[in-house]
A and B are shown apart, each in its own frame.
Chain A
């Protein structure tokens, strides 16, 4: 079975082991260690970690298309935000009549805009199953349409990067408009509960953290399974020699589209997990800068490794939290510097460094076939 193939890989088992152990440890330190103890992990920190994990899932999604398909998407923030908005719409509907204006159906901002009924695209979002389905379908559909058009006409490389950026930019402008019915500038916020759980309670927050961790694990396994399958090898083939793959009889555009859509759905899932933890979704998630920052996480961690994306996302976001707390002005310098240094001096990222060490160790013990040939 292709889905279980990753469990046979040592690296994947190691990754999953570390991830699950970390989840368990954080839970333990949050629940079992008393508040005030130096080892106690506060609920605030748990939520922060949960946010990082949702970013990590987004980074894995980006790595899937960039690392293995060679498509540098500068618009994955759009899929992330769409998933987030789908979740946000559900959470808005859950507020019910507890909003400032007390309208049982309409969210506050619609009352404020004098709307008298829900727009059609808000219908159904009071049902969790529908909303969660849309978390995957909305970004998936956008990726399907966009990718279909782009790959069919063989827009690749830099051109594709630029038009993905234009896509997320256009969406950002659109979502800024109040008339769109997504809360305009302010976005969606003031959420109360998710599936009946109070979003402000510590238990819910821990639960969300764990759910994000598990989603990351599952997303990772899914990507790993795709990558380790023949389809993954075809993807790499499309990345490195598109024409050759075509002449071998592979419809390159369909493979690109498939992987792109899967990746967009994962990004949407990440966005949906992100929103209840940070408590807001607004158009800034569509900003081109965010999308390109995600690419940096992947580049820093090491592309085409998947676990590198996770490492990069966690590291950069932790650094961001620290920096913006200590000296906010320096953060953009640090971020900009990272872009330059990683691309110029560390093209394979941190994972590349790790691999190099592992391979050296392996090389000293027993030379592999490949190295023997060189």
Chain B
């Protein structure tokens, strides 16, 4: 019945009539807007009335102790987890809560997992090829051909992430850090408007960390990409952060520049304080 009613609805825009991949509308404000989002697992409130806005082109770091809800927040933004209440908007036009993961991805939200996940059976080159923004329906994928343009774009990203030499190696043999970069490279191929990066430097050496910092600041610096980085490593956050959000028990505890946040007594108490004591 509801289907028939929806057919009679004059204002309804059918999927096949809607413009393909409608651009993200950021004229009226931020690129990502979470309002009053809550989700609980078995009574445990992982996210509790969370409000968060990310501006277009911003590089935002999100910190917080374990269990603060950082990963769950990413799950909500990318459509993996549905919140119990609240709303999540991408630009001012796209309600993220009505879309599934591939739709959200096609819209321009890329995500890097905490544990590097690349397609280990495929080569570095093929990984990037699959990540590339393209028509991702079945038949176009079946008949897709590798054009010179695509090749150039892949080579470009290979150079950015420093894996030119390894382009034909199966990605399964890459080191931990190389996999992290490859994953970031895949996100670059996707040309996302918003990049969610979960603990990009976990398990990296000093040099690798520096290189990752360069990659991320470079991304946001170009202006068209917003980057959200979730990280534990304070040194790393200090080196890249402009604005820092502190999550605690599923909601925002403090927000601002690193120095301001670091001097906030609440933050010092729940997070930095203990961290410094440990150090």
- In-complex A–B contact (CB below 8 Å): yes
Main secondary structure of the interface of A (DSSP, over half): helix
User: A251 near B: Cβ within 8 Å?
Assistant: yes
Any B CB within 8 A of the CB of A296: no
Q: CB-CB contacts of A185-229 with B at 8 A, as 1s and 0s?
A: 000000000000000000000000000000000000000001001
B121 partner residues in chain A, CB cutoff 8 A: 236, 239-240
Q: How many A-B residue pairs have CB under 8 A?
A: 99
Q: With A230-B129, A234-B130, A373-B173 as given contacts, are A244 and B117 in contact (CB-CB < 8 Å)?
A: yes
Q: Which stretch from B89-97, B98-106, B254-262 is at the chain A interface?
A: B98-106
Asked if A241 is at the interface of the complex by the 8 Å CB criterion, the answer is yes
- A247-B105, A249-B106, A369-B166 known; A237 and B122 CB under 8 Å? yes
Q: How far is the CA of A249 from the CA of B132 in the complex (A)?
A: 10
CA distance A164 to B119 in the complex (A): 27
- Asked whether any CB of chain A lies closer than 8 Å to the CB of B275, the reply is no
The docked-state distance in angstroms from the alpha carbon of A368 to that of B138 is 32
A323: min CB distance to chain B, Å: 35
Contact of B266 with A by CB under 8 A: no
A250 at the interface (CB under 8 A from B): yes
- Of A27-35, A171-179, A252-260, A324-332, the segment with at least 4 beta carbons within 8 Å of chain B is A252-260
Interface residue count on the B side (C-beta < 8 Å): 39
The size of the chain A interface, using a CB distance under 8 A, is: 30
Q: Is the CB of B111 within 8 A of A247?
A: yes
**How far does the alpha carbon of A255 sit from the alpha carbon of B137 in the complex, in Å?**
9
Residues in B with CB closer than 8 Å to A360 are: none
In the complex the two chains form, what is the Cα distance from A172 to B168 in whole Å?
47
A255 / chain B contacts, CB cutoff of 8 Å: 138, 141
Q: How far in angstroms is the closest Cβ of chain B from A369?
A: 5
Which of B113, B119, B137, B143 lies in contact with A237, CB distance below 8 A? B119
Is A231 in contact with B173, judged by CB distance below 8 angstroms? no
In the complex, which residues of chain B have a beta carbon less than 8 angstroms from the beta carbon of A236?
Answer: 119, 121-122
The distance from the CB of A181 to the nearest CB of chain B, in whole angstroms, is 34
Q: Which one of A240, A247, A252, A370 lies within 8 Å of B119 (CB-CB)?
A: A240
Partner of B136, one of A241, A251, A370, A373: A251
A239 to B190, CA, bound (A): 20
Choice from A237, A239, A247 contacting B101 with Cβ under 8 Å:
A247
Instruction: Report yes or no: B105 in contact with A243, Cβ–Cβ below 8 A.
Output: no
11 A-B pairs with CB atoms under 8 Å apart are A233-B119, A234-B141, A241-B118, A249-B136, A250-B102, A250-B130, A368-B168, A369-B167, A370-B169, A373-B173, A374-B173
Interface residues of A (CB under 8 A from B): 2, 226, 229-231, 233-234, 236-237, 239-241, 243-252, 254-255, 258, 368-370, 373-374
